[in-house]
Chain A
Amino acid sequence: MTRISITVDGIRYDDDVEARTLLVHHLRDRLGKVGTVVGCDTSNCGACTVLMAPSAPSEATAERASQGAQRPTSGAERAAEQLSRAGAAVKSCNVLAVQADGTEITTIEGLAGGDGSLHPVQQAFHDRHALQCGFCTPGMILAAVDLLTENPDPSDTQIREGIEGNLCRCTGYQNIVHAVRDAATALRGAEVAEPASAVDGQMPGTPQAPPAVPSEPESVPVEAVPRPVP
């Protein structure tokens, strides 16, 4: 058993795990974070995608944690926070839980704001009918969040390449591409044109004003100053 400490969706968990435990099994079976799912055993399908930030919890998260649930954040605020943290998408079935020691994980369950408002990517998936059975959706949404963190204004081709690690069997991807494009626009602060004649179903809350984001995408930080051996 190895002692690990992982912060998941803003809450820190300390656990003893077997070295062979996959991060996704740790999330699901130990922590009860069953929003993240397993679709394959060869890291092809991407259904298990989560965001993983290599550092300790950010100040914003720590502050929020200290305030408990008293100051719910909106989905849009959460989106801005993620952009600043630059958590990178990984396939949680292709990471050992021990490798995730000391990281901060964001799952689909932690993406919406504490007030129930949706992250702009979630909202766009709903608006554009970018899901059917919904099994690939958690991973697809997080892959899209990751893509937009690096490239806030991707072309359709770049969107397709950006989600190539996530398989969907229902949609043919077309509405997913549209949703990611809309979410990019929303995250950049522009208005999204409502799909013609679409009317809202029963969804909690309404989208918040999208946050301003830095124009330069941040790269995943290199941990150490380059000083390779020998």
Chain B
Amino acid sequence: MTTVQERPAGEVGAARKRKEDARLITGRTMWTENITLPGMLHLAILRSPMAHARVTRVDTSAALREPGVVTAFSGRDVADTQGSLPCAWPVTEDMVHPDHPPLAVDEVRHAGEAVAVVVARDRASAVDALASIEVDYEPLPVVLDMEEALAEDARLVHADKGTNKAYTWVFDSGEAGTGQAVDAAFAGAEVVIKRRYIQQRLIPAFMEPRSVVVDPTGDQHTIWSATQIPHILRVMVALVTGMPEHKVRVVAPDVGGGFGGKLQVTAEELIAFMAAQRVGKPVKYTETRSDSLLSAHHGRDQIQDLELAARRDGTVLGLRVNLLANMGAYLGIVTPGVPLLGAFMYNAIYKFPAYRFVCTGVYTNTTTTDAYRGAGRPEATYAIERLMDELAAELDLDPVEIRRRNWIGHDEFPFDTVAGLTYDSGNYEAATDKALALFGYEELRAEQASRRASGDPVQLGIGVSTYTEMCGLAPSRVLGALRYAAGGWETASVRVLPTGKVEVVTGTSPHGQGHETAWSQIVADRLGVPFEDIEVLHGDTRTSHKGLDTYGSRSLAVGGIALVNACTKVIDKARPVAAHLLECDVSDLEFADGAFRVRGAPSDAAGKTIADCAFAVFAAHDMPDGVEPSVDADATYDPGNFSFPHGTHLCATEVDTETGRVTIRSYVAVDDVGRVINPLIVEGQVHGGVAQGIAQALFEEAVYDSEGNLLTGTFIDYTVPSAVDLPDIVSDRNETPAPDHPLGAKGVGEAGTIASTPAVINAIVDALRPYGVRDIRMPATPERVWQALQGGARS
């Protein structure tokens, strides 16, 4: 398979500057928080200061007397009607699935849980009146640690459930018939690497705080929300509240980042909906950053117990994964399924024959976890890429060499993996070779040796991460088999206006990804319409009736095919119109360079464009019998497989052994995301993804104290890195087109995040291996690195 193919001239592949920018750089953006409606009231939420308590009394009467207050209510006031926040992914038949009331009724189970609300004329009055709400809490014992939570006599998050275990989910390659029995593989092992890795709890920390406006005064109840999932939200609001779905309209206006953090049906959305119903007026709620860090869902938080079996020649024989996944206090929309998305990725790019994965979901008195950029796949990739380095060290092999001995060769695709997936394409050799050359691998190894020899207090480390991921969520039949409640298709509509301009409606819901630009490029090429003449509409269920929204690097991989298919349908519908206009037979026509021409005619011969056909069907004066007077088309596409981008990331770190400070000296990312629609956008995704992965490795962690109070509840303590803290990265690409995608595209939204975390930690451990250091817990703060050097964290 070739890695880089000649690209046809056209929009696809061009570094188009983004259409979206015009409003974003001039302050004309429509954030939810910018929406002001006539008579609009403001909502404030009183949140629990305790991680676990019985709520014995809530009295909102004093708040009602405060100036400007219109109404105030607590969970008790709406206990019978508020319903339960949805979880769409009951991963096992016997999953323990507690109710998740938007407003706590009798008990609070994590700090920050919503307890009562005030609706007032202005934001300040609403916030002020919260102080007048009286709540009596009777403290209950708190359980925070997953292993303690699973102990025999554990304190319970949900007493009525009798357990803190949500589920246990198992994949075994022997039982599934996708590989050998894992015990046999271990029996034949010459080396076993056994490790425990901790995926610390992270907070997505999108820059735009969540905001929701609900207007109950129209014929449809309209919800504007800073969400990634307007379509799913509409269905869920209908299901939870009983409001008929056709009476609910959801709009995601401009949305300021998500990273999975806005892939949720939130308590705040439903509380605002209830409040608006009660007062019969529009209601707005916008969270503060402190509220957001405390109550918007968190990510990661897993304990990984791992065993890797190998022969002394470096051949990996099998892997056992035993995972504890912290659900938090309740289940969010896809909470239980997040670790399962990783289950298919632990084998990564390697072709070992035996694999067993066991995941136990655990309730604790913490904020609910759910999707965060990569969702399960970064954790899996971290584990296997760290283990491969440990195996290399054990066998005294170069970490690149150990990977070469185990990865799938470029001539072995399609490849059926031990986890049951079929990888469609890839070229790990080419990506790795390119990355090594860009990085100057040999030179850096030489410098590392000389620093080691001289006892330099600043040591150099080199980290390797060869990753793949599955994106393009998802084949509906796979989701069904995994017990996910919805499908994974995506939809697109193409409407050609009478003047030849084009409106594209997509079911994806961009919030920074640049769909307006990339979708325009795709349609421009397909229909031969100028890029500037295309408008991409999204995020409003009134215009975009149908869709499954944006997450899991799915928009181009799935929605892009729906869009191509819709364009093909437009051409098919225009064909008889063009034939009629050209007075020829349909079978004599071909469509190329934006026009229908009689086959064999020179390319400069007069033809009929899609615009010509659109005007003809608009007038419709003279349509042949049986031809619908429209060239508009919809398409819905359900993928047959995931797509599998991959790449090689290399990181060089300097570690100050006196202070423990880690500085990234250079970072090279060579990614193969298939055919690229817009290299500017792809590079931006790689940069941002790598930055978030570095942030997990070095900077970020949500920390609770022993009573379940979030200690990292502001941006002072939850340390999102600034420009000073991050390096420039060198980003390059190979292109192995996806064979099942008409554009050859794969997906890029999460790749950088998945790849970079193990690259950084591998580099730090590599620097410190001569000191006996074999692991560093994330984030690798200076103190943790220093502790490891003192022998405190040697395993």
A and B touch in the complex (CB under 8 A): yes
Which residues of A are at the interface with B, using a C-beta cutoff of 8 A? 18, 20, 25, 28-29, 33-42, 44-45, 47, 107-109, 111-112, 118, 122, 125-127, 129, 131-138, 141, 156, 159-161, 163-177, 195-204
| Chain A residue at minimum C-beta to C-beta distance from B207 | A135
B512 and A109 form a contact (CB under 8 A): no
A126 and B18 form a contact (CB under 8 A): yes
B17 and A203 form a contact (CB under 8 A): yes
Which chain A residues lie closer than 8 Å to B255 at the CB level?
133
Which chain B residues lie closer than 8 Å to A198 at the CB level?
15-17, 680
Chain B nearest CB: distance from A161 CB in Å?
6
Which chain A residues lie closer than 8 Å to B205 at the CB level?
169
* 24 sample A-B contacts, Cβ–Cβ < 8 Å, listed by A number: A37-B208, A40-B714, A45-B289, A107-B27, A108-B25, A108-B26, A126-B25, A129-B17, A129-B18, A129-B680, A131-B25, A135-B206, A137-B25, A160-B724, A161-B724, A164-B722, A164-B724, A168-B207, A169-B205, A170-B512, A173-B726, A174-B728, A201-B18, A202-B532
Which chain A residues lie closer than 8 Å to B692 at the CB level?
169
A72 to B25, CA, bound (A): 19
Which chain A residues lie closer than 8 Å to B715 at the CB level?
40, 42, 44-45, 167
B26 and A199 form a contact (CB under 8 A): no
Query: Does B54 sit within 8 A of A, measured CB to CB?
Result: no
A172 and B726 form a contact (CB under 8 A): yes
A173 to B715, CA, bound (A): 18
Query: Does B453 sit within 8 A of A, measured CB to CB?
Result: no
For B15, B511, B531, B680, which residue has the most chain A Cβ atoms within 10 angstroms? B680
A134 and B20 form a contact (CB under 8 A): yes
Which chain A residues lie closer than 8 Å to B438 at the CB level?
none
Which chain B residues lie closer than 8 Å to A203 at the CB level?
17, 21-22
Which chain B residues lie closer than 8 Å to A161 at the CB level?
723-724
Interface residue from A37, A109, A159, A195 paired with B15 (Cβ < 8 Å): A195
Which chain A residues lie closer than 8 Å to B258 at the CB level?
133
Query: Does B762 sit within 8 A of A, measured CB to CB?
Result: no
Query: Does B103 sit within 8 A of A, measured CB to CB?
Result: no
Which chain A residues lie closer than 8 Å to B4 at the CB level?
none
Interface of A is mostly: loop
A133 to B30, CA, bound (A): 12
Nearest 8 pairs of A and B residues by beta carbon: A35-B27, A134-B24, A135-B256, A133-B512, A172-B691, A108-B27, A44-B715, A132-B512
A167 to B724, CA, bound (A): 10
B15 and A132 form a contact (CB under 8 A): no
Interface residue from B512, B714, B726 paired with A44 (Cβ < 8 Å): B714
A25 to B290, CA, bound (A): 17
A141 to B254, CA, bound (A): 19
Query: Does B31 sit within 8 A of A, measured CB to CB?
Result: yes
**Contact stretch, chosen from B466-474, B631-639, B681-689:** B681-689
A135 and B257 form a contact (CB under 8 A): yes
A159 to B22, CA, bound (A): 24
Q: Give per-residue flags for B525-560: 1 if the beta carbon is below 8 A from chain A beta carbons, else 0.
A: 000000110000000000000000000000000000
A173 and B14 form a contact (CB under 8 A): no
Query: Does B720 sit within 8 A of A, measured CB to CB?
Result: yes
For B123, B532, B684, B729, which residue has the most chain A Cβ atoms within 10 angstroms? B684
A164 to B726, CA, bound (A): 11
| Chain B residue at minimum C-beta to C-beta distance from A177 | B723
| Chain B residue at minimum C-beta to C-beta distance from A170 | B688
Known: A108-B26, A164-B722, A169-B207. 6 other contacts (CB 8 A): A42-B289, A168-B207, A170-B512, A172-B687, A198-B16, A203-B21
Interface residue from B511, B683, B723, B724 paired with A133 (Cβ < 8 Å): B511
Chain A nearest CB: distance from B632 CB in Å?
23
B21 and A164 form a contact (CB under 8 A): no
Which chain A residues lie closer than 8 Å to B511 at the CB level?
133
Residues A41 and B288 in contact in the complex (CB < 8 Å), given A108-B26, A126-B17, A129-B18: yes
Q: Give per-residue flags for B322-348: 1 if the beta carbon is below 8 A from chain A beta carbons, else 0.
A: 000000000000000000000000000
Which chain A residues lie closer than 8 Å to B722 at the CB level?
160, 163-167, 173
B726 and A167 form a contact (CB under 8 A): no
Which chain A residues lie closer than 8 Å to B29 at the CB level?
35, 134
| Chain B residue at minimum C-beta to C-beta distance from A125 | B25
A201 to B678, CA, bound (A): 12
Which chain B residues lie closer than 8 Å to A197 at the CB level?
14-15, 679
B724 and A34 form a contact (CB under 8 A): no
B684 and A170 form a contact (CB under 8 A): yes
Chain B nearest CB: distance from A96 CB in Å?
13
| Chain B residue at minimum C-beta to C-beta distance from A75 | B26
Within 8 A of A (CB), among B198-215: 205-209
| Chain B residue at minimum C-beta to C-beta distance from A109 | B27
Which chain A residues lie closer than 8 Å to B208 at the CB level?
37, 39, 133, 135
Q: Give per-residue flags for B189-230: 1 if the beta carbon is below 8 A from chain A beta carbons, else 0.
A: 000000000000000011111000000000000000000000
Which chain B residues lie closer than 8 Å to A127 at the CB level?
17
Query: Does B259 sit within 8 A of A, measured CB to CB?
Result: yes
Chain A nearest CB: distance from B189 CB in Å?
40
A163 to B33, CA, bound (A): 25
| Chain A residue at minimum C-beta to C-beta distance from B18 | A201
A134 and B254 form a contact (CB under 8 A): yes
Interface residue from A47, A122, A173, A177 paired with B26 (Cβ < 8 Å): A122
| Chain A residue at minimum C-beta to C-beta distance from B35 | A34
A138 and B14 form a contact (CB under 8 A): no
A45 to B208, CA, bound (A): 11
B724 and A137 form a contact (CB under 8 A): no
Query: Does B9 sit within 8 A of A, measured CB to CB?
Result: no
A181 to B372, CA, bound (A): 32
Interface residue from A38, A45, A134, A174 paired with B25 (Cβ < 8 Å): A134
A137 to B256, CA, bound (A): 10
Query: Does B354 sit within 8 A of A, measured CB to CB?
Result: no
| Chain B residue at minimum C-beta to C-beta distance from A39 | B207
Residues A199 and B15 in contact in the complex (CB < 8 Å), given A35-B26, A174-B687: yes
Which chain A residues lie closer than 8 Å to B723 at the CB level?
159-161, 163-164, 166, 168, 173, 176-177
Query: Does B587 sit within 8 A of A, measured CB to CB?
Result: no
Chain B nearest CB: distance from A19 CB in Å?
12
Which chain B residues lie closer than 8 Å to A39 at the CB level?
207-209, 289
Which chain A residues lie closer than 8 Å to B17 at the CB level?
126-127, 129, 198-201, 203
Query: Does B517 sit within 8 A of A, measured CB to CB?
Result: yes
Chain B nearest CB: distance from A134 CB in Å?
3
Which chain A residues lie closer than 8 Å to B26 at the CB level?
35, 108-109, 111-112, 118, 122
A19 to B393, CA, bound (A): 63
B512 and A134 form a contact (CB under 8 A): yes
For A40, A111, A137, A163, which residue has the most chain B Cβ atoms within 10 angstroms? A40
Interface residue from A37, A131, A138, A172 paired with B21 (Cβ < 8 Å): A131
Residues A41 and B31 in contact in the complex (CB < 8 Å), given A132-B684, A201-B21: no
Query: Does B513 sit within 8 A of A, measured CB to CB?
Result: yes
Interface residue from A125, A165, A175, A199 paired with B687 (Cβ < 8 Å): A175
Which chain A residues lie closer than 8 Å to B532 at the CB level?
202
Which chain A residues lie closer than 8 Å to B259 at the CB level?
169
Which chain B residues lie closer than 8 Å to A196 at the CB level?
15
Chain B nearest CB: distance from A144 CB in Å?
11
Chain B nearest CB: distance from A66 CB in Å?
25
Query: Does B619 sit within 8 A of A, measured CB to CB?
Result: no
A34 and B684 form a contact (CB under 8 A): no
Q: Give per-residue flags for B688-729: 1 if the beta carbon is below 8 A from chain A beta carbons, else 0.
A: 111110000000000000000000001110001011101011
Chain B nearest CB: distance from A180 CB in Å?
10
Query: Does B621 sit within 8 A of A, measured CB to CB?
Result: no
B714 and A202 form a contact (CB under 8 A): no
A34 and B31 form a contact (CB under 8 A): yes
